Structure 1
């Protein structure tokens, strides 16, 4: 069985490489915005992939700074944009939108795995090639299928460079051949999701965690958010963002990213333990998107307990229930040979109809 997975590693760029990567990231964002404007202005009958490809080629000729982006990465921007529309038409996502400079994440695609030239230097460091950036070093935290480490069907099919709050990272797309999982012989469990108790299995135990940020970090985050609000209030409409505001926003993003990493670490460890212990898991089917909608209402019919509901919404979003179930699904199905079923509330305790696949 072929298995496709992503592996994320930290990049360490020199000052010149950092400048080249940021230039490519901005070029990819501008190309997305130009493509979005071109696509939405054209009549529906003229919106074809071939016409969009020709528009990208012409744009790279007319705008010199778009030339900083490699040609294959530019083509991948088009493929990602078209896939975004397909996801929208099939009801899985919202329509593609304009990418703002400070509200979007920089990303550069390297679609061909053979262009990466991955070389393990030692047990801690690896080296790869990034087009128009050069050889860059990354943290070697997992054996990648390169050289003698690669099997017959094991390979790295591509990568994406992404800029996070703590620097640049590379996400490798890894294809591996694995043995089909054997049927799991463990018991069945029902799992309830909550806030006071994040996960409550039906065996009588609980899966809990401490706050994602320490009291000192929470206090610092609140202070930074107040500083950001003051600077945004003093900024006039259309005025360029000050360096002080950008620095405060970066510090806020770093704290939130730290909380997200801690949450993901707990979710991975917890779901791995559940997948190893149980063969089948019944998870309560929840419409999370509807649960976190605001109850603000309108001027004619204002909502009630709006602030209390907003606090509940933040708590639900902070637990990331959907990501927890997604991790549990693939771990039980591919690693342990189990399965996850979405069920109604009553079925966790005996009798109810199934509401999910």
Structure 2
């Protein structure tokens, strides 16, 4: 395929909704109706014999349920069909080994969401620079934050359009996630330099050219004090609950305040990751990262009764710090952003990158004197420098020597690039 051939790109864009109190209640009712419809559909699926578990019978059961149960009528008919489609897709993912079998959805542990499968029903209009308007079924015209140019109005067409949306509620309120499809030119190959990246806790991202990307605390001092206050208040109120007693509304409001502060911290962290990965993808042509198995890195050190672990509290704090940095999400963002700008992302084996000297290439015991300083113990070298930058240079060295991890049959294997001999040596 030539570079001038346009390619179809599909992505999502999430924006904050400005719902009125009545609109919030309607959206909440629709989300609860969608969850209830999922549970009824799952119960029907378990009761029916296998030969009667067809799409037509399930659709007829949904229509009958919407007639018999009054509060299900608040859910639009297309959203009800989307619940059926999602449920069938969940079973297909289970049969193909990509996910577990679907189950009932709990009221307080399930993300409240409503699907809008038809993009033509949205009728999106940009009001001014900061706000746009969207039509939500059975809710009406609602404003949303305009933070990205969307293919609406004269810019919309058969190839550039919004194919649908989903209403999602988190601790900060209701949001709308648009499904966008555009036709754009294939990006030219990125001519930027190669770069190796080492991830860490003290220094989140250290690059092989000496650049570092750091961030501060996601919550201010007052917000941390407020979070600690509400966590202590929740612990006190939880002590007065009897076994089997329902959670009071006061405790639920306390949980909501805690979730709101944590969601604010997560949003700031995600914003920093997006800005950082965009800057890296625009600057460098090939980005090399370590293939880390993060699930093994955050394993608890508690041990067993026969063999109890050591430094359990310290390991728990390290696990929280690793999970808070979200290294896997950083790699995911870099993967599609480097491809968008014409670059590529390569993974290399992780063992030994922090213990090898990037100058002489030897691995000697005790070279990593501290978390931040690397001192080569080779008498012929003796180089010392920042440990994170040294590891990033080793990551880039593995790529330049031809080592790369490629997926093969569901696992990663090491492949060494073939080198072409010069004409004089043949």
Name the CA shift for 1:343/1:39 in 2 (closer, same or farther; >3 Å): farther
CA distance in 1, matches of 2:266, 2:303: 31
CA distance in 2, matches of 1:62, 1:237: 36
1:341 maps to which of 322, 340, 346: 346
Question: What TM-score, normalized by structure 2, do the two folds share?
Answer: 0.78
CA distance in 2, matches of 1:246, 1:56: 32
Moved more, 37-46 or 249-258: 37-46
- CA offset at residue 325 of structure 1? 0.9
Contact 2:172 2:264 in 1 (8 A): no
The reply on whether 1:136 has 2:130 as its aligned counterpart is no
Contact 1:143 1:149 in 2 (8 A): no
- CA offset at residue 2 of structure 1? 1.1
Contact 2:277 2:334 in 1 (8 A): yes
Secondary structure (helix, strand or coil) at the match of 1:20 reads helix
- CA offset at residue 264 of structure 1? 0.9
- CA offset at residue 151 of structure 1? 4.7
Aligned to 1:354: 404
1:31 maps to which of 28, 37, 44: 37
Cα deviation 1:115-164 (Å, max 9, x = unaligned): 11112222232222111112222222322211113255211111111112
Aligned to 2:327: 321
CA distance in 2, matches of 1:318, 1:88: 30
Aligned to 2:253: 247
Runs of 5+ consecutive residues of structure 2 not aligned to the other structure? 1-6, 354-393, 408-426
Name the CA shift for 1:355/1:7 in 2 (closer, same or farther; >3 Å): same
Cα deviation 1:258-293 (Å, max 9, x = unaligned): 111111111111111111111111111111223223
Secondary structure (helix, strand or coil) at the match of 2:213 reads coil
Name the CA shift for 1:289/1:38 in 2 (closer, same or farther; >3 Å): farther
* Structure having the larger proportion of residues in helix: 1
Runs of 5+ consecutive residues of structure 1 not aligned to the other structure? none
Secondary structure (helix, strand or coil) at the match of 1:355 reads strand
CA distance in 2, matches of 1:81, 1:304: 45
Aligned length: 356
Which is greater in Rg? 2
1:14 maps to which of 2, 14, 20: 20
Cα deviation 1:29-73 (Å, max 9, x = unaligned): 122222333334555555443443333223223322122111111
Name the CA shift for 1:287/1:138 in 2 (closer, same or farther; >3 Å): same
